[in-house]
Amino acid sequence: MRVPDDEIQGAVGDYLALNRASWDERVPLHVASGFYAVDRFVAGEEHLHGFEINELGDLSGKRIAHLQCHLGMDTLSLARHGAQVTGLDFSPPAIAEARALASSCGMGARFVVANVYDAVEALGETYDVVYTGKGALCWIPDLRAWANVVAALLVPGGALYLSEFHPFLQMLTYETLEFEYPYFNDQAEVWDDGSDYADPDAKLANERSVEWPHPVSEVICSIIDAGLRIEYFHEWREVSFARFSFMEQVGPRLYRMPAGKPDLPLMYSIRASKPT
């Protein structure tokens, strides 16, 4: 549930510690969960969506930084498609598991612990592609600062590829599709919620977390203001988890609304390039 308004300011001031504690605690739950299916991934199961693979194109020899990489499964999927990858996340347990997963897969990859705002200094390199998304942006309070980090990480001619959940999805109640939350919200959302999306039986000790809803226009304008050129913006009818219980599975980790329900935008993707 959302916390009372008089507690929001204090929580926002501690957002980094609160969110890191929450994500640190989730790591072993996610490693053991069927949602992430680590064993199947080690055996070779694809973790990227089909539209991501198509839009990313040939990755052979490309140097890619994956920001907010969590367990590194998307990072290593990019490596399986031929990229030289570096993953970054602020959670030490997540990066430890990402390194262990890379070893289990017999893959060379670099993983670094750092806040996304510190990525330029922490990585010390530039890249052909910065990849991010799928639940990453809601944890970032200042999108313009984030976009400037992305631009600094790219070589001239390099590109950001963002694949993210559509903010329209977050406005709706879980079962009735009624509007519950605003699309435009100028303040952080602070939650006390001990559940975990990957493990329905989990009860987290670190319940409190802080998120920032970002309308699509804010995302696009932040990228443009950082000096990157938008090449495309695509909206998708599919999403990587069953946000509503009545959704139909249409592919590995891919769900959409069934017939008779509104056909909603559930994800979006953006490619933006750095001028040469």
- Give the rounded distance of the alpha carbon of 233 from its chain centre: 17
- What pLDDT is stored for residue 38 in this prediction? 97
Domain that holds residue 103: 5-273
pLDDT higher than threshold 80 for residue 5: no
> Which residues have CB under 8 Å from 199's CB, separation 6+?
29, 30, 32, 33, 35
Q: How far apart are CA 81 and CA 71, in angstroms?
A: 18
Q: Please report which confidence band the pLDDT of residue 10 belongs to, taking 50, 70 and 90 as the band edges.
A: low
Backbone φ and ψ of 12, nearest 5°: -65, -40
pLDDT higher than threshold 90 for residue 178: no
Q: Please report which confidence band the pLDDT of residue 85 belongs to, taking 50, 70 and 90 as the band edges.
A: very high
pLDDT higher than threshold 60 for residue 3: no
How many other CB atoms are there within 10 angstroms of residue 178's CB atom?
Answer: 9
Is 74:63 a contact under the CB 8 Å cutoff?
Answer: no
Q: How many domains does the chain have?
A: 1
- What pLDDT is stored for residue 148 in this prediction? 98
- What pLDDT is stored for residue 243 in this prediction? 86
Nearest Cα to Cα of residue 72 among 30, 34, 33: 30
What's the CATH number where 170 sits?
3.40.50.150
Q: What rounded mean pLDDT belongs to the chain?
A: 94
> What is the mean predicted confidence (pLDDT) over 55-83?
98
β-bridge pairing 84-89 and 63-67? parallel
- What pLDDT is stored for residue 252 in this prediction? 84
Segment 107-130, tens digit of pLDDT: 999 999 999 999 999 999 999 999
Hey, what amino acid is at 276?
T
- What pLDDT is stored for residue 245 in this prediction? 87
Q: Please report which confidence band the pLDDT of residue 54 belongs to, taking 50, 70 and 90 as the band edges.
A: very high
Percent pLDDT > 90 in the chain is 81
Is 42:224 a contact under the CB 8 Å cutoff?
Answer: no
Q: How far apart are CA 263 and CA 257, in angstroms?
A: 6
- What pLDDT is stored for residue 86 in this prediction? 98
Q: Which residue has the tokens 């999108």?
A: 143
Burial of residue 200, with CB atoms counted within 10 A of its CB: 0-12 exposed, 13-18 middle, 19 or more buried: exposed
**E strands of the chain, at which residues?**
63-67, 84-89, 110-113, 127-133, 154-165, 189-192, 208-211, 229-236, 238-239, 248-251, 254-256, 267-273
pLDDT higher than threshold 80 for residue 134: yes
- Residue of higher predicted confidence among 159 and 243: 159
Q: Which residue has the tokens 């605690």?
A: 25
Q: How far apart are CA 33 and CA 108, in angstroms?
A: 25
pLDDT higher than threshold 60 for residue 4: no
- What pLDDT is stored for residue 8 in this prediction? 64
Q: Please report which confidence band the pLDDT of residue 180 belongs to, taking 50, 70 and 90 as the band edges.
A: confident
β-bridge pairing 127-133 and 208-211? unpaired
- What pLDDT is stored for residue 221 in this prediction? 98
Backbone φ and ψ of 112, nearest 5°: -130, 135
